[in-house]
Amino acid sequence: MATTGSPTGPGAPIGAPTRISQGSQTKGGIGESTLRPDGVLKVTGEFAYSSDMWHEDMLWGHTLRSTVAHAEIRSIDTAEALATPGVYAVLTYDDLPTAVKNYGLEIQDTPVLAHGRVRHHGEPVALVAADHPETARRAAAKIRIDYAELPVVTDEASATAPGAPLIHENRDDHHIGHVAHPNIVHRQPIVRGDADAAAARADVIVSGDYVFGMQDQAFLGPESGLAVPAEDGGVDLYVATQWLHSDLRQIAPVLGLPEDKVRMTLSGVGGAFGGREDLSMQIHACLLALRTGKPVKIVYNRFESFFGHVHRHPAKLWYEHGATRDGKITHMKCRIVLDGGAYASASPAVVGNASSLSVGPYVIEDVDIEAIALYTNNPPCGAMRGFGAVQACFAYEAQMDKLAAALDMDPVEFRQLNAMEQGTLLPTGQRVDSPAPVAELLRRVKARPLPPEQQWLAAGEAADVRALPGGLSNTTHGEGVVRGVGYAVGIKNVGFSEGFDDYSTARVRLEVINGVPVAVVHTAMAEVGQGGVTVHAQIARTELGVTQVTIQPADTQVGSAGSTSASRQTYVTGGAVKHACENVREKVLEIGRRKFGTYHPAWATAELLLEGGKVVTDGGEVLADLVDVLEDEAVDLELEWRHRPTQPFDLRTGQGNGHVQYSFAAHRAVVEVDTELGLVKVIELAVAQDVGKALNPLSVLGQIQGGTIQGLGVAVMEEIIVDPKTAKVRNPSFTDYLIPTILDTPTIPVDVLELADAHAPYGLRGIGEAPTLSSTPAVLAAIRNATGLELNRTPVRPEHLTGT
Amino acid sequence: MDFLRPASWEEALAAKAEHPTAVPIAGGTDVMVEINFDHRRPEYLLDLNRIGELRDWVVGEENVELGASVPYTHIMEHLRAELPGLALASHTVASPQIRNRGGVGGNLGTASPAGDAHPALLAAGAEVEVESVRGARRIPIDAFYTGVKRNALAPDELIKSVHIKKADGPQQYSKVGTRNAMVIAVCAFGLALHPETRTVRTGIGSAAPTPVRARDAETFLNAALDEGGFWDSGKIITPSVAKQFADLVAGACNPIDDVRGTAKYRRHAVGIMARRQLGWTWEQYRTDGGGTGRTLEGAA
Amino acid sequence: MRVNFTVNGRRQEADDVWEGESLLYVLRERMGLPGSKNACEQGECGSCTVRLDGVPVCSCLVAAGQAEGREIITVEGLADYAKHRDEAHPGDGCASGSCGTSLQRAQRWRAGGTDSGTGEAGELSPIQQAFIDAGAVQCGFCTPGLLVAADEMLEHNPSPSDADIREALSGNLCRCTGYEKILDAVRLAAARQEEAV
């Protein structure tokens, strides 16, 4: 049952504004850079994040985590911890209240608390509730756990070796039937055409092995929340998450409560980027609250946060491409191995994305693709901005540069020659049925003037080290510094794919309060910083012609909004708000016709709009005031909305219309590299991205620039380092897991295209992830350009640039 | 845990004598991280914030006496002429917020090989004044670092100040990190020219179990500059001399592989920094005639 | 132990403070001032930045006992602090360097309330308004620390270059914005400050 919004015409000229269906004159509607409704609270410190919750008599929860990656738990002794003054509860696996003891997004393989075995470093083993965090920590330190360590598997070779320990014995999930080994979570091949035959036509063939390091979302607001036991035996939970209803579905069975007795409210979310798609402290806090009968707050510190959420899958990728002398790509073969770590999380969907987007935004008819995710004893990996497409983009863009070099062609022209466009058939057999301006995006970033060289000398004689590689550390005054320029472009799907029933729900109420028409929008959408709340208000203004819009807090008292991920919320929950508003509008007009229809023929004959608090004809004639139409009546509707259905990929051939929409961005990176010390300064990262329709241009820029810098981070500094011998995390802190500072970030000029997608609300395109894809390979390409090195691994470390 | 708040230096010494396990806390930028992350639970915290004299400095004829708690920000802003190497090093410390709290006393007390001040102190030449109820003594900086995160302090002693030789020639300092700000040293290097004695001194950070000087490199360069008459002629140092100096500095490293970098890279990078800094300082010596009024204020 | 200090012009007292508690914890959990944020608790993100006797510091690295008797300004008091400063030194952005630290002056003003029920705030400081206007706020977790740091920089350097802004804010991590809009916000606040002269 798919309902679509008002379609706009396809093929609108580049850069031209998308025609929107109606109501564009209402102030604060879509297309304007209205300001965030939560902005004032956020700048005054009043905005209540999940770690800010406080309740009288509340206790502090603390999680005891495994100090080893893989071990049998022989015994747990909690007696001394329980006897500690100030301690109210100590819980282990044996205290779980029901038969449901695992959870998981797709596969319920993750123990709420370890049962007899730990499978990764930092796995939760026991919980403590106490009157002060320090009391809880000291008590947790008194819990005695007898571990018998087991051998670890950490990569494909060790995970699939004969006799390798199985991470999950007795798997019964729906992927086990099509994988070659129980330590493989999922496998997705895509075969189209005949890659071997096409390779025979190639004049040049290039191949490479690529490595993508483990990236962390590093959202700043740590995992945290407050669980308050209720008199009815249920629990009220205030947390930061990306999807309230998905959490609820996993939490309630473990607690042994019906879903309506677990009432969730979204607290302020300090960033997410995929890292809050899985549960962290939710069940733990509820268990402690229900056990003690007191409110329980849990707040991770940064150290624990590195163990408290999944990371981006590290990947090993092998690619082969061929091309004819005139620059046409003949074929592509690739094999992508993603390390999913100890639990499945979103690994199957990441595999689907990695395989189906492995070709990149290029026309390649003959392909042979395989992507798998492993179970290992490494930290669990799952969703992060870009979701499988990021790793592939890093590799295929390196390949494009290699091919261009082998053909002695300009790397941008080579890409443009092979760029996909609207109508292109993808390796999955899906035809791209909305604008795909890949060549144009590349043209735009290339056409930009380059920043002047040796900018550090601009101020005068002495070098301003802040503009140089090494920055304040004063490592060069220009010595060894070489400039490089690199390009990349990527393709990301928008929305949940592969046949998932991806819908959202919005409740919209229109009524007159104190003589003013007011719209109230209630969804369960997790506002994680992206600005969904701003956009929902804009949509309500545009559709209902009112200026006053109240956005209700997100909670589970309204239907699911789906996840704030996959660049989908503006599309899907925005679409749901629009859909609900349209239906509210129809109801309002019905009321108007009933009351005033006899006074003016236009009520029956004209297309009617709501604008400026009035019912008007599309010719602009005012028929009635909303205040008079509604009087004391409220129109209140809660409706679901779905985008077009998708299909699963065939497990053997990978064929299927798996994705809803595609999103494209291109980057040009300009870097300066201290070639002697191997230090990199990114001077500029220019972006061009097609956003379909910018509902809020200021927010669009914020998403594009923010995503770009997360891509820069994993190009030159960000990596969780896991010891291959022990599978233990070596750098779980902001001292050694580095994310870019304001001195590491360049200027980020952005070129926004608005080519409407006729299938999407207002023609919009999901935007959050695409800029994270091409940023990394563009920086790498620029560093290669400066140094002449091959650099098949990201992040690049000084050792790689100096051969040390 | 007990929180001791001495109001005077004497009270602090008495408290430390009574509780030798007490952990001094001044800027808190090391100690509080360890407490927040549950890495350390000292029996006593000895707060030094209320002792004003630890935040004072005195510029003397030969030396600057720098109170242990003088924040790095003040060193950057007020002591650039007297202590150019340390001022540059101070500018590389963590972030503005940390530089507002942290001081050299903390670096010395922690004695981490990654402490940013150490190479500058080694290169400039300094003595650490420590005191206990038994009395005060001065520990030459060369004898101060005794092992990984170990120093020459007795359990009842506190660091009062550092007597640092005033610059009589150009000084430089660099550190390598994989971020352009707010980064712990992968490795660091400091160099000071001392035209009055016609010597050079060096300091290496994060590339050996303790901060160290590259003594063979100093000896070589002292001899080469002397024999070539460079101090008098002010001519450009021959590339082969600079290269050998850099190689000897790299050879003085005894680094390890860790998450921040490889041993091989550290050795390499220290050599590069040594060669560059010799170029920068010597160029300044040549053009300034050895005056101390200006420095190549890279990070200024 | 018991600690006493002044926060945003008000005397505050906390009892039963554990000796290992940070100033940040006491502000957030004992004084009802959770505006200063707890992103890393290791001095590597700046989200907990407050002014301690006028100086920006990471409150996570100040032991609560070290704050005894001292003056703290947090993001919750920033608007009033800026208002007072402007009244005391209209237009000069405190370039004289005599701003914000004297006990005497701090005691003359009190932080005004914000109504957390409606989200209506009193007047915002120029830097707060600029952050909203420029789109520098996304998730907002870094915002309080950035505001305190940026406000202090503009106090001493009313016309900063981009490099100055970047250096002054290099201790404040932001994961959402890529920093471009934060730069815009500081430039905007500086420009408005100049216009106001």
Length of chain A measured in residues: 804
Cα distance between residue B161 and residue B66, in whole Å: 5
Return the CATH number at B263.
3.30.390.50
Give the angle subtended at the CA of A785 by the CAs of A469 and A671, to the nearest 5°: 30
Q: pLDDT-derived band of residue A23, with 50, 70 and 90 as boundaries?
A: very low
Residue of C nearest to A737 (CA): C44
Residues A549-602: pLDDT tens digits? 999 999 999 999 999 999 999 999 999 999 999 999 999 999 999 999 999 999
Q: Which residue of B has its CA nearest to A723?
A: B259
Pick the last residue of a domain from A299, A318, A349.
A299
- For residue A542, pLDDT beyond 90: yes
CB within 8 Å: A477 and B173: no
Q: Is C101 an interface residue toward B (CB < 8 Å)?
A: no
| In contact, A219 and C38? CB cutoff 8 Å | no
Tell me which chains share at least 3 CB pairs under 8 Å with chain A.
Answer: B, C
> Is A665 contained in some domain?
no
Q: What is the pLDDT of residues A205-221, one digit of tens each?
A: 999 999 999 999 999 99
Q: Which residue has the higher pLDDT, C101 or B150?
A: B150
The mean pLDDT of chain A is: 95
Q: What is the pLDDT of residues A146-198, one digit of tens each?
A: 999 999 999 999 999 999 999 999 999 999 999 999 999 999 999 999 999 99
Residue A647 pLDDT more than 80? yes
Averaged pLDDT, C96-121: 38
Domain CATH for B5: 3.30.43.10
* Chain A residues near residue B43 by CB distance under 8 angstroms: none
In a domain, B90, yes or no: no
Instruction: Say how far residue A334 (Cα) sits from the centre of its chain.
Output: 24
Among C29, C75, C177, select the one facing A45 at the smallest CB separation. Answer: C75
Look at residue B82 in the predicted model and tell me its pLDDT: 98
Domains and CATH numbers, chain C: 3-73 (3.10.20.30), 78-113+120-196 (1.10.150.120)
Look at residue A3 and tell me whether its pLDDT is greater than 90.
no
CA angle, corner A382, sides to A738 and C174, nearest 5?
A: 30
Contact residues, chain C, for A709 at CB < 8 Å: 178-179
What residues are paired with A229 via a beta bridge?
A235
**Residue A264: inside a domain:** yes
Paired with A674 in beta bridges are A481, A679
Residue (of A745, A589, A594) closest to A669 by Cα position: A745
What span, in angstroms and rounded, lies between the C-alpha atoms of B257 and A779?
26
User: A513 at the C interface (CB within 8 A)?
Assistant: no
Domain boundary among A580, A613, A642: A642
Put simply, whether B151 touches C (Cβ < 8 Å) is no
Residues A83-106 pLDDT 10s: 999 999 999 999 999 999 999 999
Contact C122, C114 (CB under 8 A): yes
Output the domain CATH number for residue A133.
3.90.1170.50
Q: How many residues does chain C have?
A: 197
CA separation for the pair C73, C107 (Å, rounded)? 12
Q: Do B298 and A137 touch (CB under 8 A)?
A: no
Cβ atoms of residues A220 and A212 within 8 Å:
no
Residue at a domain's end among A244, A268, A299: A299
Note whether C4 contacts B: Cβ–Cβ < 8 A: no
CA distance C56 to C146: 10
- What residues contact residue B53 under an 8 Å CB cut-off, 6+ apart? B9, B67
The CA distance from A563 to B29, in Å, is 39
Cβ contacts of A109 within 8 Å, gap of 6 or more: A102, A168, A173, A343, A344
Q: How far apart are CA C19 and CA C17, in angstroms?
A: 6
Q: What's A612's domain CATH number?
A: 3.30.365.10
pLDDT for C96 beyond 60: no
The total domain count for chain A is 2
Instruction: Please tell me the number of Cα atoms within 13 Å of A372 on its side-chain side.
Output: 21
**Is residue B184 in some structural domain?**
yes
Percent of chain A's residues with pLDDT above 90 = 94
> Residue holding tokens 């016309």?
C159
Mean pLDDT of A452-480: 83
Residue numbers of chain B with a pLDDT score lower than 70: 289-300
Residues of chain C numbered 155-194 and touching chain B (CB < 8 Å): 167-168, 170-172
Q: Please give the helix or strand (H or E) that residue A71 lies within, else none.
A: strand A71-77
- Residue span of the structural domain in which B210 resides: 171-288
- B178: contact with A, CB 8 A cutoff: yes
Nearest Cβ partner of A46 from C20, C114, C182? Answer: C114
Helix (H) or strand (E) segment spanning residue A608: strand A608-611
Rg of chain C's alpha carbons, rounded to an integer? 16
Give B136 to chain A, closest Cα distance, Å: 35
Question: What SS3 class is residue B201?
Answer: strand
Element (H, E) at A126: strand A124-130
Please tell me the distance in Å from C66's CA to the nearest CA on chain A: 19
Residues of C with CB below 8 A from B36's CB?
22, 41-42, 60
Structure tokens at A444: 């735009």
Q: Which residues of A524-544 are buried (b: 16+ CB within 10 A; e: fewer)?
A: bbbbbbbbbbbbbbbbbbbbb
Encode burial over A460-480: b for 16+ CB neighbours within 10 A, e otherwise.
eeebbbbbbbbbbbbbbbebb
Predicted-complex ipTM score: 0.95
DSSP codes of every residue in A669-708: EEEEEETTTTEEEEEEEEEEEE-SS-SSHHHHHHHHHHHH
Whole-number average pLDDT of chain B = 95
Task: Please indicate, yes or no, if residue A180 is contained in any of the structural domains.
Answer: no
pLDDT given at position B289: 62
Q: Looking at residue C117, what is its pLDDT?
A: 33
A79: its two tokens: 């007696």
CA nearest to B110, candidates B253, B210, B230: B210
Residue A494 has pLDDT above 50, yes or no: yes
Residue of C nearest to B1 (CA): C19
Please name the residues in contact with A162: beta carbons below 8 A apart, sequence gap of 6 or more. Answer: none
The answer to whether A23 touches A596, Cβ cutoff 8 Å, is: no
Range of the domain at A579: 503-642
A717 and B179: CB-CB below 8 Å? yes
CA distance B140 to A245: 65
What are the CA-CA distances from residue A360 to residues A323, A347, A354, A434, B4 (Å)? 15, 20, 10, 16, 63
pLDDT at A21 exceeding the cut of 90: no
> Distance between CA atoms of A631 and A517, rounded to whole angstroms?
10
Mean pLDDT of A666-684: 98
Number of domains forming the structure of chain B: 2
Preferred mutation among A43, A52, A276 to probe C, highest tally of C CBs within 10 A: A43
Structure tokens at A513: 């309060």
d(CA A802, CA B63): 40
Q: Which among B178, B268, B297 is the nearest to A462, CB-wise? A: B297
Q: Is B80 on the interface with A (CB under 8 A)?
A: no
pLDDT of residue B297: 43
pLDDT reading at C168 higher than 50: yes
User: Which SS3 state, helix, strand or coil, does residue B215 take?
Assistant: helix
Kindly state the DSSP code that residue B144 receives in the 8-state scheme: T
Burial annotation A241-260 (CB, 10 A radius, 16+ → b, else e): bbbbbbbbebbbbbbebeee
Report residue A275: phi and psi, to 5°: -75, -10
Q: How many alpha carbons fall within 13 Å on the CB side of residue B169?
A: 26
Helix (H/G/I), strand (E/B), else coil: B174: strand
pTM of the model: 0.95
**Closest partner residue to C65 among B41, B47, B97, by Cβ?**
B47
- What token pair was written down for A628? 């008079």
In a domain, A325, yes or no: no
Nearest to B97 by CA among C152, C82, C139, A43: C152
Q: And the tokens for C108?
A: 């003359």
Could you say which of C76, C132, C173 has the minimum Cβ distance to residue A40? C132
Contact list, A131 vs chain C (CB under 8 Å)? none
Which H helix or E strand runs over B127?
strand B126-132
